[in-house]
Amino acid sequence: MVSATTTRLVEPLVLRLSSGKYAIDPPVVLAPMAGITNAPFRTLCREQGAGLFVSEMVTARALIERRPETLRMIAPGAGEWPRSVQLYSVDASAMRAAVTMLGKENLADHIDMNFGCPVPKVTRKGGGAALPYKRHLFSAIVGAAVEAARPFGIPVTVKMRIGIDSDHETYLEAAKSAAALGVNWVALHARTAAQMYEGKSDWSAISRLVEHLKPSGVPVLGNGDIWSGRDGAAMIKETGCAGVVVGRGCLGRPWLFNDLVATFSGEVSRSQPTLFEVREIIYRHAQLIVEYFESEDRGCRDLRKHMAWYLKGFSVPGELRRQLGMVESLSQLRGLLDSLMDQPYPVEVGAKPRGRTSHGRPVTLPYGWLDNPDELPSIELEDAFSGG
């Protein structure tokens, strides 16, 4: 929490939970990322200062079918609160049932809805960033979630992109609709689905959305190209958004949240861990993942994808880097990490883009999807993201 004597860059963001008000102070949110933001990674980010930490995206249908892996994905880490779950669905009935389940069984304190995913296996079913184009379907799904959550005191938020592409921008109208239906905030990733993760995000779109939603009083959170605390501060200053959502910037860098908290608190120092400090974060991450999966083999395999992100910019011999990327046990990992030579944080490389850099491409959509935004889909839509 920021002290009362510190000059604030932005006010806390308040979530009204069934148990009372929760102040996200400063308003820094860990974005849901498939295969990344499981309970171990959320724990690391929480320890570094993230104010809210959202689960990997899960489908409403998989949840109500009680698939074991989906239930694992929404399970909180030790001491994790509030429990935030991101839901995805292309069906209002399934969304209502999933939210009702979360409420009745006390499985979540906050629900975020995904309308920003650009990957083909989601958009080809009309989901993710494709869905807001169908304005009536979008309103039906958001309305179902808000209504189902209300009796349990669960706040609902939405995350979206600018639109399908530059010719089919949906964010202003969709955000206004969501605000009218009662969501607590709208988070905008300032790219279109067609852009994927290419180029620079358009922060001016965040500014426009802030102005657009001012009459409603619904806050806007900004997302896109936050690689340092200074980037977060710049986004707040340039756009007037009420907080930031961090995704790829924290891959292999959970301490980014510490940097953001310090910057938002008016501090000038930056979080720049040495390689010895990073190696201990890696090992803690490994221990948490092994405990989470209840399997040393599976846990170490899951850690491998993080290794290149953690070591980015550091001088590590090629063979040692390769061995770390193929680690099989905690004891092997400990030995490899102990063979590293300490060195200062690589500032020039460490704060640069990382993670997915997919080039832009036409969005995969259901046949005839763009014919009429007012027309409800005549095809049978199904939840398309089988991973959860």
Tens of pLDDT, residue by residue over 249-263, are 999 999 999 999 999
Quickly state the pLDDT bin for 3 (edges 50, 70, 90).
very low
- For 375, the 3-state DSSP assignment is coil
Beta-bridge partners for 199: none
Position 271 scores a pLDDT of 73
Quickly state the pLDDT bin for 268 (edges 50, 70, 90).
confident
Hey, where are the domains in the chain?
13-264, 275-341
Return d(Cα 309, Cα 323) in angstroms, integer. 15
Number of Cβ within a 10 Å radius of residue 207:
18
Number of Cβ within a 10 Å radius of residue 180:
13
pLDDT digits (tens, 9 = 90+) for 354-372: 555 567 789 999 999 999 9
Exposed e or buried b per residue across 256-268, where buried means at least 16 C-beta atoms within 10 angstroms of its C-beta: bbbbbbbbbbeee
Helix, strand, coil percentages in the chain from 3-state DSSP, rounded to 5? 45, 15, 45
Return d(Cα 44, Cα 78) in angstroms, integer. 11
Q: Is the peptide bond before 40 cis (omega within 30 degrees of 0)?
A: no
Quickly state the pLDDT bin for 383 (edges 50, 70, 90).
low
Specify whether 250 is catalytic.
no
- For 180, the 3-state DSSP assignment is helix
Mean per-residue pLDDT over the chain, rounded? 91
Spell out the residues 6+ positions from residue 2 whose beta carbon is closer than 8 angstroms to its own. Answer: 8, 25, 26, 261, 264, 265
- Are the C-beta atoms of residues 193 and 233 closer than 8 Å to each other? no
Set 117, 241, 250, 300: catalytic member = 117
Q: pTM for the full model?
A: 0.92
Specify whether domain 13-264 bears CATH 3.40.50.1110: no
Q: What is the CATH number of domain 275-341?
A: 1.10.1200
> Span 237-249, mean pLDDT?
96
Return d(Cα 309, Cα 325) in angstroms, integer. 11
